[in-house]
Amino acid sequence: MKAREIERFRLKLEAFLADVVLAMGRKERREHAEEYVRGLLMDGERKSIEPMADRLPGGDVQALQQFVNQSPWSTKEVQSSLARKVEREFVPEAYWLIDE
């Protein structure tokens, strides 16, 4: 995706990620998580930190590098949060029908 395309749905992306990244704690970590996801969604063959940061408006290589390599957040908690969010948002409700 182009940066312009991502900017169009940025508020929706932030809203989607809000619950997911809550387990990361500090505001800075949550912001870097959103930047990292935007970087992954952007065009470009290389999805390593430096090329992604270069493509992001105001991207900070060092901050993203520290987020990925040194931030003390629980992968398990974030994955669980994401699974619950996806289930709520994308899995249709199921109904039981009991026939006598």
pLDDT at residue 61, as a whole number: 93
Residue numbers of the chain with a pLDDT score lower than 50 = none
Q: Under a CB-based contact definition with an 8 Å cutoff, are residues 13 and 20 in contact? A: no
Question: How far apart are alpha carbons 78 and 18 in whole angstroms?
Answer: 11
The half-sphere exposure of 53 on its side-chain side, counting CA atoms within 13 A, is 15
pLDDT at residue 28, as a whole number: 92
Measured torsion, CA atoms of residues 34, 4, 43, 22, in degrees rounded to the nearest 10 = 10
pLDDT at residue 59, as a whole number: 86
